[in-house]
């Protein structure tokens, strides 16, 4: 998610997706269903390359490339089982992601990227078969006509030389189908038709697929009430859009290895933008509202703050503002102990993944939680990036990724630019993964060094402020239940 990535369920099943031909029993209905149609001839999931759920921290993109090759192998081996899983996972995700406008837009974007990748992987021959299969029967113009118009075709189609014009097939396409190319002035138009080279036909096919999938998602959304009445499906569908199956960062390998004095420096060097923003807001305002406290508090816990350190850290900062020590002890301290599993149900809560931050609980005015790549206004994000000395060209690249809803890829780009590396070498799924990878890089592959542990200066002031925190996720997000979440939330009153 990312940002950029499909849900792990989809990515896993897509490892072996794609085959040449559908079995007879599957063929029926494929013409109405672009997904079935394109899945029948197209290759692997594009998210395998940039973002791969199976590529944990430390594993390189090389691994993903290998997976992609395996998936391509499936394309030629007619792997029925893989294709079946791919289809099933698509329809499960369709159900999970049709539930709101935002989820639909995001899912559509990911599916388009997947489709584009698969389509571009096809040979000319397979592309033509695919076009026929999905009933996009564009008529290829004759060689004579092509030779007659060669100059016009070459002049109107960027990137084509006369030699390439001679090699390529050109298709006669109605203007309504070629509207994107027409708008970008990338196609030869004559007598109300566009003459599109095979290399550009993907824009038309993608447009067609987008329209069909968009309609299909709207239709699926309409059938949701009946599906939601099934109590087996409802929890699955509710949680799927922000579920996380990566490494468990609730295991605190570095507990006690970080001193409070290190946090300011670490926030600049090794925190992802979401946590850097929360830390800055906390230092400036001496307060964070409940969404921020939960997101940041659990992150800090997982990078190694002990319960005692956490209590001191938050108390020191809050009592610099409007909260007096007594109020802090009565309200906030309890919720901090609770998040460490020392109160109430004694559940040890795990830090939020990127998907959870991106897809749930959007910040409102006065909040600093959320993912800046997702939740910040682009102009504000640009200013932030400039403030953090991200070069202009890098800022532009990040904004482009954000525009395409590739929030996690934008964050990866931020990592590369702030760590001066060309290739991040891992797929980002979790803020604590960002931190761990940054520390590994900065310390030459070593774990975070322990500094002399002395407790930070405590500056306590007084004044009044309400207590408490908000929602969280239990230690293993895979086994989380709503009941457990509620267990914590009941202690987190409003700010």
Angle, helix 101-121 to helix 201-222, in steps of 10 degrees: 150
Which residue number, 40 or 353, has a Cβ lying nearer to ligand SF4?
353
CB 262 within 8 A of CB 456: no
Closest approach of Cβ 271 to ligand SF4, in Å? 9
Cα(15)–Cα(69) distance, integer angstroms:
9
Which residue number, 434 or 492, has a Cβ lying nearer to ligand SF4?
434
Closest approach of Cβ 410 to ligand SF4, in Å? 7
Closest approach of Cβ 445 to ligand SF4, in Å? 21
Cα(102)–Cα(99) distance, integer angstroms:
8
- Using CB under 6 A, which of 122, 204, 288, 371 touches ligand SF4? 371
The overall longest dimension of the chain from CA atoms, in Å, is 89
Which residue number, 40 or 250, has a Cβ lying nearer to ligand SF4?
250
Q: Which stretch binds ligand SF4 (CB under 6 A): 47-55, 260-268, 317-325, 367-375?
A: 367-375
Binding flag, residue 50, ligand SF4 (CB under 6 A): no
- Using CB under 6 A, which of 197, 291, 431, 487 touches ligand SF4? 431
Closest approach of Cβ 435 to ligand SF4, in Å? 9
Cα(301)–Cα(76) distance, integer angstroms:
48
Q: Which stretch binds ligand SF4 (CB under 6 A): 193-201, 281-289, 326-334, 406-414?
A: 406-414
Residues 269-298 that bind ligand SF4 (CB under 6 A): 272-274
Closest approach of Cβ 126 to ligand SF4, in Å? 35
For residue 301, which of 263, 343, 236, 255 has the smallest C-alpha distance?
A: 255
Structure token pair of residue 76: 């030629």
Across 337-367, b (16+ Cβ under 10 Å) vs e yields: bbbbbebbeebebbbbbbbbbbbebebeeeb
Q: Which DSSP string do the residues of 232-247 spell out, in sequence order?
A: THHHHHHHHTT---S-
Binding flag, residue 424, ligand SF4 (CB under 6 A): no
- Using CB under 6 A, which of 411, 417, 436, 488 touches ligand SF4? 411
Binding flag, residue 434, ligand SF4 (CB under 6 A): yes
**Among the residues of 376-406, which ranges form H helices?**
378-387, 392-403
Binding flag, residue 407, ligand SF4 (CB under 6 A): yes
Which residue number, 314 or 407, has a Cβ lying nearer to ligand SF4?
407
Looking at the DSSP bridge assignments, the partners of residue 474 are 349
Closest approach of Cβ 434 to ligand SF4, in Å? 5
Inter-CA distances, 143 with 136, 150, 169, Å:
21, 10, 9
Q: Which residues contact 269 (CB under 8 A, 6 or more apart)?
A: 438, 442
Cα(224)–Cα(234) distance, integer angstroms:
10
Q: State which H helix or E strand residue 140 sits in.
A: strand 139-140
Looking at the DSSP bridge assignments, the partners of residue 170 are 197
Binding flag, residue 417, ligand SF4 (CB under 6 A): no
Binding flag, residue 302, ligand SF4 (CB under 6 A): no
Binding flag, residue 357, ligand SF4 (CB under 6 A): yes
Residues 56-115 that bind ligand SF4 (CB under 6 A): none
Closest approach of Cβ 354 to ligand SF4, in Å? 3
Q: Which stretch binds ligand SF4 (CB under 6 A): 97-105, 159-167, 369-377, 398-406?
A: 369-377
- Using CB under 6 A, which of 373, 426, 491, 492 touches ligand SF4? 373
Contact positions vs ligand SF4 (CB under 6 A): 272-274, 354, 357-358, 371-373, 407-408, 411, 431, 434
């Amino acid at each position: 998610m990312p940002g950029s990535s499909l849900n792990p369920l989809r990515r896993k099943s897509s490892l072996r997706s794609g085959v040449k031909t559908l079995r007879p029993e599957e063929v029926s209905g494929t013409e109405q269903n672009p997904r079935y149609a394109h899945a029948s001839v197209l290759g692997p999931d594009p998210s395998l390359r940039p973002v791969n759920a199976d590529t944990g921290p430390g594993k390189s993109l090389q691994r993903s490339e290998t997976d992609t090759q395996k998936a391509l192998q499936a394309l030629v081996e007619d792997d029925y089982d893989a294709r079946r899983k791919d289809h099933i996972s698509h329809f499960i995700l369709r159900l999970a992601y049709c539930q709101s406008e935002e989820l639909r837009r995001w899912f559509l974007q990911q599916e388009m990227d997947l489709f584009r990748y698969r389509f571009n992987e096809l040979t000319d021959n397979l592309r033509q078969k695919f076009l026929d299969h999905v009933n996009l029967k564009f008529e290829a113009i004759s060689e004579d006509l092509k030779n007659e118009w060669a100059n016009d075709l070459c002049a109107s189609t960027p990137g084509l030389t006369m030699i390439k014009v001679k090699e390529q097939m050109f298709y006669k396409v109605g203007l309504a189908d070629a509207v994107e190319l027409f708008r970008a002035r990338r196609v030869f138009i004559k007598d109300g038709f566009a003459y599109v080279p095979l290399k550009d036909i993907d824009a038309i096919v993608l447009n067609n697929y987008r329209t069909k999938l968009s309609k299909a998602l709207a239709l699926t959304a309409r059938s949701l009430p009946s599906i939601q009445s099934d109590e087996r499906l409802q929890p699955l569908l509710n949680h799927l859009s922000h579920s996380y199956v990566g490494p468990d960062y609730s295991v605190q390998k570095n507990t006690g290895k970080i001193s409070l004095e290190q946090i300011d420096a670490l926030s600049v060097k090794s925190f992802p933008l979401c946590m850097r923003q929360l830390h800055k807001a906390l230092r400036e305002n001496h307060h964070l509202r409940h969404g921020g406290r939960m997101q940041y508090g659990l992150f800090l816990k997982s990078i190694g703050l002990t319960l005692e350190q956490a209590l001191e850290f938050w108390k020191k900062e809050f009592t610099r503002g409007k909260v007096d020590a007594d109020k802090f002890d009565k309200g906030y301290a309890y919720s901090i102990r609770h998040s460490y599993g020392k109160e109430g149900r004694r559940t040890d809560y795990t830090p939020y993944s990127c998907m959870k931050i991106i897809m749930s609980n959007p910040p409102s005015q006065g909040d600093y939680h959320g993912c800046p790549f997702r939740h910040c206004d682009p102009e504000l994000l640009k200013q932030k990036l400039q403030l953090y000395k991200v070069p202009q060209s890098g800022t532009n690249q990040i904004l482009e990724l954000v525009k395409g809803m590739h929030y996690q890829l934008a964050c990866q780009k931020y990592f590369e630019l702030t760590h001066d590396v060309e290739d991040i070498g891992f797929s980002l799924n979790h803020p604590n993964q960002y931190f761990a990878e940054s520390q590994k890089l900065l310390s030459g592959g070593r774990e975070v060094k322990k500094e002399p542990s002395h407790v930070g200066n405590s500056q306590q002031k007084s004044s009044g402020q309400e207590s408490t925190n908000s929602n969280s996720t239990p230690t293993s997000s895979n086994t989380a239940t709503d009941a457990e979440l509620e267990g914590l939330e009941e202690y987190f009153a409003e700010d």
